[in-house]
Structure 1
Amino acid sequence: MPRLGFHASHEQFAPSRLLTLVRQAEAAGFDVAMSSDHFAPWGLAQGQSGFSWGWLGAALATTSFPIGVVTAPGQRMHPAIVAQATATLEEMFPGRFWAALGSGEAVNEHITGDVWPSKPEREQRLRESVEVMRALLAGERVDHDGAVRVHDARVWTRPAEPPPLRAAAVGPATAAWAAGWADGLVTVGRDARALAEVLAAWRHAGGTGPVAVQVHVSLAGTDDEALGIAAEQWRQATAPGDVMWDLEQPEDFDAAANPGDEDALRAGVLVGSDARAMAESLAEIVGVGFDEVYLHHVGLDQDRFLERARDELLPALREATA
């Protein structure tokens, strides 16, 4: 049976509120949780973006389940600092932390003032960052001069075993590329056929370790209400995919989005009012072969979502995936 996870959205909630929510999620029956490392939200309606690394320590200290983070070492976050942060969290909470590494988006990374690289350059930078991080986590002294620069660095406080460094990948090509270095895969989407292609590419390239999917959902009293929540809070799902990585400000995402495009909204967010029907759709996604599924309710009323998750959605999903 897959592990059912809660996504803690730093883009939508202040970290103090998010800390309460992740504790409520564990009490509601979620097995695991994950969070995002953002400097800015996707859109103005979301309006938050706390520092995920500070929050992670508090979240792990006040819960008992595993929590991971999706992050992008190389520009805003130097890989030596990410290595130190992951080592510290794993030392304090052995076996309960993982990081999924991706090549990043301009909305978070442009703040350094450095040129935003092309996708091949970002992938090269990520690959070098992973090499640096693994060497530091192994206790080595590291010098590196390439897409990232490191001068005689070492991480002094390390866990007994390094935490898993998974890959964050959206498409099949990136998943196949990452299979050579990652300890697992984290992807996102709600189209079972497209997700199956990502997973097949990962496995064909020799990828090993747990495979996880994040699914954006909007569960409300009526379908229309659920669709309205998605349009208000997760409208960037309707923006053209080829511009998502290069936009710099939440205003840019709002301008590129078309929240009136119902088909595009439903393609990005699983919308509905019937928890059992939603569980069946999620079970189809899990059936592709995922070990973990992380649910991100895109609405702001997380209390009501967590109640329905506890009473309806999680039991139905466990029954459907048993």
Structure 2
Amino acid sequence: MVFIGFHASHEQIAPSELLDAVIGAERAGFDGAMCSDHLAPWSPVQGHSGFALSWIAAALARTDFSIGMVNAPGQRYHPVMIAQAFATLAEMFPGRFWAAMGSGEALNEHVTRDGWPAKHVRNERLRESVDVIRRLMAGEEVDHDGLVRVHRARVWSLPAEPPPLFATAVSAETAAWTASWAQGLATVAQEPDSLRRVVDAYRSAGGAGPCILQVHLSLAKSDGAAFAIAREQWRNGLLSPPVTWDLEQPEDFVAAAEGLDEEPLRKAVLIDHDASSLAARIADLAEIGFERVYLHHVGTDQSQFLDAAANELIPALKERL
């Protein structure tokens, strides 16, 4: 049975409303949740960007299922602070917290004025940061002098079991690189052949743990209404790496998407007016090799989506998966 999760998008919804949504997701029958971790939204129209570490503590306290988050240590977040935060969450909520570690985007990291490194440098920094975080959560005193610098750091409040640290990857090359250190892989829906290459690269390189798929979708009463939601809220889906890694401001994403054909948005977002049809499309992606699938309805009205998920979408998915 594939795990069906709910994705909470901090970029689009105020933290208090998003907390209500994740509580509603558990009631609707989702198996767990995950959230983004942004300092800024992808576009001004999205209009929000709550602090994920504050929010996830509240969300775990108000629910009983597992909740994870995406995190990019090394620039905006020093790995020592992330180790302390993760250890505290795992100590308070044993077995329920996880994180998917990535190299980040300039959108969230440029605020330090440290400059935005090339992708290979960001990958090296990520690996160093993950090593530091793991050593600290194992109770070590850590010194490290590299792309991140640590002096005699120690985390004192430790969980009985450290949380799993997965990796994020969009390309097969990055997926293969993460296999040596990650405890699982998280990626985002794209063309099926590309997804197969990502999963195969991770598994072929010895990657262990779950493969996790995040699916952006828009479900409404008509195709036109569903497309309008995606066009208003998720035009950033028209852009892809490396462009999305390197833009600094929400307004830059708007400018970069200006004039692009909107039809490719249907490849970035599953747009549908029929829950059974949508379930079949999601199931086809999950069957590529994913143990967990997290669903992100890109609209700001999560209550209607959660009603549809409870009554139609989740039952249809459980029949297929």
Aligned alpha-carbon RMSD (Å): 1.0
Give the letter aligned to residue 63 of structure 1.
T
Secondary structure at 2:245 match in 1: coil
Contact map agreement 1:37 1:52 (CA 8 A) in 2: yes
Aligned ranges 1:185-204 → 2 under 5 Å: 185-204=185-204
Counterpart secondary structure, 1:56: helix
Uncovered stretches (5+) of structure 1, i.e. residues with no partner: none
Rounded Cα–Cα distance in structure 2 between residues aligned with 1:232 and 1:10? 16
**Identity of matched residues, %:** 60
Please name the residue that 1:66 is paired with. 66
Shift of 1:301: 1.4
Q: Which moved more, 1:254-263 or 1:181-190?
A: 254-263
SS state at 1:133 partner: helix
- Verify the 8 A CA contact 1:239 1:258 in the aligned structure 2: no
1:37 paired residue number: 37
Cα-to-partner distance string for 1:251-301 (whole Å, 9 max, x where unaligned): 000111147623320110000101100000000011011110000000111
Report deviation, 1:240: 4.8
Change in Cα spacing, 1:119 to 1:217, as seen in structure 2 (3 Å) is: same
Q: 2:121 corresponds to which letter in structure 1?
A: E
Q: Does 1:153 align with 2:150?
A: no
Counterpart Cα distance in 2 of 1:283 and 1:197: 18
Query: What TM-score do the two structures reach when normalised by structure 1?
Result: 0.98
Gapped regions of structure 2 (runs ≥ 5): none
CA distance in 1, matches of 2:30, 2:171: 27
Aligned residue for 2:70, secondary structure, equals strand
Question: Which residue of structure 2 aligns with residue 298 of structure 1?
Answer: 298
Q: Which amino acid aligns with 1:161?
A: E
The aligned residue for residue 307 of structure 2 is 307
Name the amino acid aligned to 2:189: G
Distance 2:259 2:89 in 1: 39
Q: SS state of the match for residue 130, structure 1?
A: helix
Confirm or deny: 8 A CA contact 1:189 1:195 kept in the other structure. Answer: yes
- Relative to the length of structure 2, the TM-score reads 0.98
1:135 aligned partner:
135
CA offsets, 1:30-49, max 9 Å, x none? 00100011100001110000
Partner of 2:121: 121
The AA in structure 2 aligned to 1:213 is: L
Question: Larger deviation: 238-247 or 130-139?
Answer: 238-247
Partner secondary structure for residue 245 of structure 1: helix
Q: 1:155-201 deviations in whole A, cap 9, x for unaligned?
A: 00000111000001111111100000001111001422211110000
Residue 209 of structure 2 aligns to a residue whose secondary structure is coil
Amino acid at match of 1:29: G
Match of 1:84 in 2: 84
Asked if residue 169 in structure 1 is aligned to residue 169 in structure 2, the reply is yes
Q: Which segments of structure 1 move beyond 3 Å, counting only runs of 4 or more? A: none
3-state SS of the aligned residue for 2:89?
helix
SS in 1 for 2:271: strand
Instruction: Tell me which amino acid in the other structure corresponds to 2:248.
Output: E
CA offset digits 1:107-163 (Å, max 9, x no partner)? 000011111000000000001001101110111000111000001001000001110
- Counterpart for residue 18 of structure 2: 18
* Alpha-carbon distance between aligned partners in 1 of 2:227 and 2:307, rounded to the nearest angstrom: 20
Between the aligned partners of 1:228 and 1:259, the Cα distance in structure 2 is 16
Q: How does 1:134-283 map to 2 (within 5 A)?
A: 134-258=134-258, 261-283=261-283
Moved more, 1-10 or 231-240: 231-240
Q: Secondary structure at the match of 2:246?
A: coil
Is 1:54 paired with 2:31? no
In 1, distance between residues paired with 2:141 and 2:26?
Answer: 39
Following the alignment from structure 2 to structure 1, what is the Cα–Cα distance between the partners of residues 177 and 259? 33
